[in-house]
């Protein structure tokens, strides 16, 4: 009897050690491929994880999450995407256009959800927003570019020349720059632009464009967003306001925006992922989703230093921000 009890205890102990591993093998795995680290993309990632949990997929309980960051390197993105494809993971969240494009090139079968992508069609990731058709869907971060330029003209009424600073290889940035240029010219502004290839170009490019303008527009550009502190420092030294594509760039030192909430965008994407993990939908049949409400954010610290008045109706959206 004693020997039987001992063997039973040994068996129970062995099972207690094996159970977590057995459960882990049964849990779906979501790989997160983030292009680069900056506040907007970080917020989208965190919102996605919250959205998953809200829909019944709590991390390490109902789903395993493998977070990876490409650090704005195509080689790193490619290596991570290869790993996700080889496992394979059950679903990939790819954050920002280059990350989605890289992952889509590695697998035609793994469901891929993209977020912080301005135009899925332009990036050749889907056949249409209504019917993606491939193994990619997700949420667009298309922001109200025209309204942002109109806000800039309202807050900086004496501006004559608008500068555009963005990454030449990012299709989302190219699209926003085109929209900003068209709206600025429509409102009577001259337009100048400088593009960058990588983060090493940002400071020199910023100095070059700031010498030729009296107002700067920065779209939801990943390279510029990750280096906004440098741009803001150069702009403030020359008393040039920066209108940004989203609030994370304002919190990093830009002057004002009317943009989307990336955390909420991530949440929205997390709910889409839950539907896929539950088998309630197929990725190629889920339409691209977007946000319909936008939020003002004014950097009161920068506005005061630049001598810009804040209209009474925008005072509730003004914050003292120290980057």
Tens of pLDDT, residues 288-297: 999 988 999 9
Give yes or no: residues 39 and 61 share one domain.
yes
Give yes or no: residues 167 and 67 share one domain.
no
Residue 73 in any domain: the answer is: yes
Answer whether residue 18 shows pLDDT above 60: no
Answer whether residue 312 shows pLDDT above 90: yes
Residue 9 in any domain: the answer is: no
* 242-281 pLDDT tens trace: 999 999 999 999 999 999 999 999 999 999 999 999 999 9
Question: What is the distance between the alpha carbons of residues 214 and 233, in angstroms, rounded to a whole number?
Answer: 15
Residue 314 in any domain: the answer is: yes
Give yes or no: residues 206 and 251 share one domain.
yes
In this prediction, residue 95 carries a pLDDT of 98
Give yes or no: residues 81 and 180 share one domain.
no
Name the domain count of the chain.
2
Give yes or no: residues 276 and 134 share one domain.
yes
Alpha helices in 187-315 (DSSP H): 202-210, 222-226, 228-237, 247-251, 262-277, 300-306
When pLDDT is averaged across residues 123-152 and rounded to a whole number, the result is 97
In this prediction, residue 15 carries a pLDDT of 45
Residue 37 in any domain: the answer is: yes
* 188-239 pLDDT tens trace: 999 999 999 999 999 999 999 999 999 999 999 999 999 999 999 999 999 9
Instruction: Report phi then psi at 194, rounded to 5.
Output: -140, 140
Give yes or no: residues 110 and 191 share one domain.
no
Burial class (CB in 10 A: 0-12, 13-18, 19+), 182: middle
Residue 15 in any domain: the answer is: no
Residue 3 in any domain: the answer is: no
* 63-97 pLDDT tens trace: 999 999 999 999 999 999 999 999 999 999 999 99
Question: What is the distance between the alpha carbons of residues 94 and 260, in angstroms, rounded to a whole number?
Answer: 18
When pLDDT is averaged across residues 133-158 and rounded to a whole number, the result is 97
Please state whether 31 falls in left (phi above 0), alpha (psi between -120 and 50) or beta: beta
In this prediction, residue 6 carries a pLDDT of 53
Give yes or no: residues 253 and 149 share one domain.
yes
> Tokens representing 278?
């539950």
When pLDDT is averaged across residues 175-199 and rounded to a whole number, the result is 97
CATH number, domain with residue 44:
3.40.50.2300
Give yes or no: residues 209 and 233 share one domain.
yes
Give yes or no: residues 187 and 239 share one domain.
yes
Full residue range of the structural domain in which residue 54 is found = 20-141+262-285
Residue 233 in any domain: the answer is: yes
Given pLDDT bands bounded at 50, 70 and 90, which one contains residue 322? Answer: confident
* 31-60 pLDDT tens trace: 999 999 999 999 999 999 999 999 999 999
Give yes or no: residues 190 and 307 share one domain.
yes
In this prediction, residue 20 carries a pLDDT of 46
When pLDDT is averaged across residues 136-151 and rounded to a whole number, the result is 97
Residue 13 in any domain: the answer is: no
Give yes or no: residues 156 and 200 share one domain.
yes
In this prediction, residue 7 carries a pLDDT of 47
In this prediction, residue 22 carries a pLDDT of 42
In this prediction, residue 293 carries a pLDDT of 87
Give yes or no: residues 119 and 46 share one domain.
yes
Question: What is the distance between the alpha carbons of residues 302 and 54, in angstroms, rounded to a whole number?
Answer: 37
Given pLDDT bands bounded at 50, 70 and 90, which one contains residue 4? Answer: low
């Amino acid at each position: 009897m004693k020997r039987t009890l001992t063997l039973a205890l040994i068996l129970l102990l062995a099972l207690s050690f094996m159970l977590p591993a057995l459960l882990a093998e049964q849990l779906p795995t979501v790989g997160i491929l983030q292009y680069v680290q900056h506040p907007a993309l970080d917020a989208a990632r965190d919102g996605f994880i919250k959205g998953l949990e809200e829909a019944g997929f709590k991390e390490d309980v109902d789903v395993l999450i493998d977070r990876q960051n490409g650090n704005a390197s195509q080689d790193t993105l490619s290596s991570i995407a290869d790993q996700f494809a080889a496992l394979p993971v059950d679903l990939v969240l790819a954050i920002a256009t280059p990350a989605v494009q890289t992952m889509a090139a590695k697998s035609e079968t793994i469901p891929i959800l993209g977020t912080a992508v301005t135009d899925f069609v332009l990036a050749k990731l889907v056949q249409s927003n209504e019917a993606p058709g491939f193994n990619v869907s997700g949420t667009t971060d298309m922001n109200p570019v025209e309204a942002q330029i109109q806000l800039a003209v309202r807050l900086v009424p004496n501006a004559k020349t608008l500068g555009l600073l963005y990454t030449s290889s990012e299709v989302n940035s190219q699209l926003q720059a085109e929209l900003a240029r068209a709206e600025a010219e429509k409102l009577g502004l001259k337009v100048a632009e400088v593009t960058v290839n990588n983060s090493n170009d940002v400071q020199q490019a910023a100095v070059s464009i700031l010498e030729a303008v009296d107002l700067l527009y920065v779209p939801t550009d990943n390279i510029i967003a990750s280096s906004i502190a440098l741009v803001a420092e150069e702009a403030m030294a020359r008393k040039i306001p920066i209108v940004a594509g989203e609030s994370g760039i304002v919190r990093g030192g830009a002057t004002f925006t009317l943009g989307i909430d990336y955390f909420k965008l991530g949440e929205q994407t997390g709910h889409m992922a839950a539907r896929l993990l539950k088998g309630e939908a197929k990725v190629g049949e889920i339409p691209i989703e977007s946000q319909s409400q936008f939020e003002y954010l004014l950097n009161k610290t920068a506005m005061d230093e630049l001598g810009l008045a804040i209209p009474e109706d925008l005072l509730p959206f003004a914050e003292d921000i120290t980057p």
